[in-house]
Amino acid sequence: MTIMERKTSLWIRRFNPAEGARARLVCFPHAGGSASFYFPLAQTMPPSVEVVAVQYPGRQDRRHERPIDDIAELADRIAGELAPWTDLPLALFGHSLGATLAFEVARRLERSGTVPIGLFASGRRAPSRHRDERVHQGDDRALLAQLKRLNGTDAQVFGDEEVVRMILPALRSDYRAAETYRYRPGPRLSCPVYALTGDDDAMVTVEEASAWGEHTSGPFELRVYPGGHFFLTAHAASIRDLVSHHIGAHAAHAQHL
């Protein structure tokens, strides 16, 4: 893949090209989310860290594509798409569904010889902690009600029937992917893992978040923030500083090896 092809990938969105960057942060959206969710982060991250975001099929400019409702298939595709972006040290950040997906992509990258400099898992229980959830099997009303409860979508969206019809297929597909995912035991990651969670998140307990430490042989850190499932919105500046600090430290170390 050429540089031009890399920059125009349907899967990877580069919001703030940073030619002098020392590391790259790859962001994975939540269920029903899109790459643009991370645009504010890209705008405020220091120039030493370039932010790119994954755009899943079935939403926004990819809305005419079939959504992929299987974590393994998504991870295979995304890991392949990231291969041309490994010219800089990579860190991965995922929220909710995106955290599970980032973990599976990290496993694939490590197997192919690319060890991320960090995995930031936000708003999601550890892969080995399973809950029997079946939101994706409910009707449209139940699915939208779940989305409202999590407070991660602008309330105006729910009043626009056309927009609702557009987001429902991808939303249902994402929930199916998240809820049918089953962790398959294997080698632990060797990269550092940072678990971020809200203290009032109905989707994740602190114990379930702390279990991320079982999935790496490298350093592990748990950060608990006030708030619910989308705690990261209220604490965006703090999380940005945390992520940029750790990326900077590990990128500097990697360059001196």
Which helix (DSSP H) or strand (DSSP E) does residue 53 occupy?
Answer: strand 49-54
The DSSP bridge pattern shows strands 12-14 and 49-54 to be: antiparallel
Q: Let me know: does 123 contact 229? Beta carbons within 8 Å.
A: yes
Q: Which of 124, 86, 109 is nearest to 209 (CA)?
A: 124
- Residue type at position 184: R
Closest CA to 239 of 94, 102, 100: 94
Residue whose entry in the numeric block shows the structure tokens 């009032």:
200
* Known active-site residue 122: no
The residues facing 194 across adjacent strands are 120, 221
C-beta separation of 6 from 84 below 8 A:
yes
Q: Determine which one of 34, 96, 122, 173 is catalytic.
A: 96
Q: Looking at residue 189, what DSSP letter applies? A: B
d(CA 179, CA 177): 6
What DSSP designation does 241 have? H
> What is the C-alpha separation between 105 and 94, in angstroms, rounded?
11
Q: Amino acid letter at 217? A: S
* Pair 220, 141: CB distance under 8 Å: no
Q: Which residues are catalytic?
A: 96
